[in-house]
Chains A and B, each alone.
Chain A
């Protein structure tokens, strides 16, 4: 089927592969990970969201509407681009980018946001709240709220507000209220705490439009399903281009939504390696990083059991990354499950490695990637040298780098 004809999204696309622990169990668990560790006050709201999503995903009308928005508003399907000049730096392996940077608002976040905004309307709620790190999820949420006429409040760490000032301005222009969060580390994790506090207070008219595959059940499942289209499209496109499945799929991992989005359609393809790249910050040995899966331990953060950066008494350790979107000391429970089952492997990429890949893609291919996505690009450079020139590597270019120009100007003295 050509990608430009017929529906780009079907119930089967949302429903998953039907392979191994695909969907969480009745308690929202992927193996031992996930679940719900939240105040009892929020349980009815989580149950309500889960029940409405179950109905929606089997409702032709909902699927048609979501499909329509993805096609006519978000700009799906997004293309894939082979990057041979960049690939010469990766031992000559074929590198193919999935261009989520070309979506409306500039990152993969729009997919999940449109799905959940439609769900908000079905829930009869008039207000959405969201957390944001890099500001991409905040911008996407503000966009969908403007489109559907919903009131919108975005919680963003004060540190992130500063390093992503452009996105703060975008959200305000789109009609959202941006609340800078000044407690704790003033980054994504504290923005999530503050959003939960708002939700428990205003839950009767508010949907928490959660931005990543973390948090309490059913968010990891819902966000994954709405992001799944990335991999569903990319799988067809790579086969169309090369006649075969890729040897490996690479994605950056913060909370993990873009990575799950591209991984998920490939989980059943045993020959396809799945590689996630976390933010190594200044390096593991410095303690200033966001290597949750690589160097963290199992605990509970933001409502789910998963890998967490924590000390021996369960206090969260603050993460560090040059990229606000990866600067998070937790990770989605399905990634924890994929790691422990061995189906996916996770690595660290330092700030310096990511910035090198950022500049390299710009110079060799004329594409300025988000710094988040640059972690996956840096990973692909290493992986290509390992796998050799015969290999085909699919990389999720999850977002564009416009928002990162302030950081780049400082980093490269531009």
Chain B
């Protein structure tokens, strides 16, 4: 199992940013998600976030909504998410689960943390769990030995960045702009400032996500962040592909482009 600490020290030693890719479990199919994530790792992703498909993804844009909807229609359950993590972790990438809070809450925080650790997962990203509500999850994650990643946003005050950074382990997720997930023509101009502000509060790596989808954007973000997070652009490639094989090829191509970007 590769830890986040290992990933970021290796990237730092190579004087580059880490590349983090996101895909929901069960999309395009249960096995297809593992195949796509494997292609992403082979082409240069250091970290994979497996999304836990949720019925009410209120911070996701249309691309991820579409993928999640298809995944749920495919009958994806939490056991499938764990199996996906297990499959992806075998590639050697540090593998996280990104999920809204309610599925963990309902499944049982202790059980979820334990099952994720047993599947080879190294942590979670929980975008709607605030520091005020995080107590139980921090304890269970610590007990299971997994990392807890939370988000800061351009709107975050110094006080909030401090509170969020304090409960993060592994890395801090900086949202590049005010908005939902989805590739955009340009990465938010607020991102660099937010990374700098976050560094005032923590020595953890700071990764930037939301709106990144090209090698050029990855290079731009890699200049000031420790990691570049890409989700919707990968999903878009899979949605647009006429069949699974060309989808995999397309995802591999994008991962290679982004991997070159973070090394520029």
Q: How far is the CB of A40 from chain B (nearest CB, A)?
A: 5
Q: How far is the CB of B168 from chain A (nearest CB, A)?
A: 11
Residues of A within 8 A of B103 (CB): 313-315
Interface residue? B14 (CB, 8 A): no
Among B100, B127, B129, B180, contact of A201 (Cβ-Cβ < 8 Å): B180
8 Å CB contacts to A: which residues of B64-86?
65, 69, 72, 77-78
In angstroms, Cα B179 to Cα A202, docked, is 8
Please give the number of chain B residues whose Cβ is less than 8 angstroms from any Cβ of chain A in the complex: 41
Check B175 against A41 for contact (C-beta < 8 Å): yes
Residues of B within 8 A of A183 (CB): 65, 69
Interface residue? A44 (CB, 8 A): yes
Check B107 against A313 for contact (C-beta < 8 Å): yes
Check B55 against A40 for contact (C-beta < 8 Å): no
In angstroms, Cα B179 to Cα A204, docked, is 11
Residues of B within 8 A of A299 (CB): 102, 105-106
Check B56 against A38 for contact (C-beta < 8 Å): no
Check B58 against A197 for contact (C-beta < 8 Å): yes
Please give the number of chain A residues whose Cβ is less than 8 angstroms from any Cβ of chain B in the complex: 38
Interface residue? A310 (CB, 8 A): yes
Residues of A within 8 A of B100 (CB): 300
Interface residue? A189 (CB, 8 A): yes
In angstroms, Cα B152 to Cα A41, docked, is 7
Of B58, B106, B153, B175, chain A has the most CB atoms within 10 Å of the CB of B58
Check B55 against A316 for contact (C-beta < 8 Å): yes
Residues of B within 8 A of A40 (CB): 127, 130, 150-153, 156, 160, 164, 175
Among A41, A302, A308, contact of B178 (Cβ-Cβ < 8 Å): A41
Q: How far is the CB of A37 from chain B (nearest CB, A)?
A: 5
In angstroms, Cα B180 to Cα A203, docked, is 12
In angstroms, Cα B132 to Cα A111, docked, is 31
Check A38 against B130 for contact (C-beta < 8 Å): yes
Check B153 against A184 for contact (C-beta < 8 Å): no
In angstroms, Cα B155 to Cα A299, docked, is 27
Interface residue? A36 (CB, 8 A): yes
Among A27, A35, A193, A202, contact of B57 (Cβ-Cβ < 8 Å): A193
Check B130 against A36 for contact (C-beta < 8 Å): yes
The verdict on A39 contacting B127 (CB below 8 Å), with A201-B178, A302-B58, A314-B54 known, is: yes
8 Å CB contacts to B: which residues of A218-257?
none
Check A37 against B101 for contact (C-beta < 8 Å): yes
Interface residue? A213 (CB, 8 A): no
In angstroms, Cα B60 to Cα A308, docked, is 21
Interface residue? A30 (CB, 8 A): no
Interface residue? A367 (CB, 8 A): no
Chain A residue at minimum C-beta to C-beta distance from B130: A36
Check B77 against A313 for contact (C-beta < 8 Å): yes
Interface residue? A200 (CB, 8 A): yes
Check B59 against A39 for contact (C-beta < 8 Å): yes
Residues of A within 8 A of B175 (CB): 39-41
Q: How far is the CB of A313 from chain B (nearest CB, A)?
A: 5
Residues of B within 8 A of A315 (CB): 54-55, 72, 103
Q: Could you jot down 23 A-B contacts, CB within 8 Å?
A: A35-B132, A38-B130, A39-B59, A39-B128, A39-B151, A40-B156, A40-B160, A41-B59, A41-B154, A41-B178, A44-B156, A184-B55, A189-B56, A201-B178, A201-B179, A201-B180, A203-B178, A204-B178, A300-B101, A301-B56, A308-B102, A312-B106, A314-B54
User: Which B residues contact A (CB, under 8 angstroms)?
Assistant: 54-61, 65, 69, 72, 77-78, 100-107, 127-130, 132-133, 150-157, 160, 164, 175, 178-180
Known: A39-B175, A192-B58, A314-B54. 14 other contacts (CB 8 A): A39-B127, A41-B151, A41-B155, A41-B175, A44-B156, A44-B160, A189-B56, A197-B61, A299-B102, A301-B56, A301-B102, A302-B56, A315-B72, A315-B103
Q: 9 closest A-B pairs (Cβ-Cβ)?
A: A314-B106, A41-B153, A314-B103, A201-B179, A314-B102, A300-B102, A316-B55, A193-B58, A196-B58
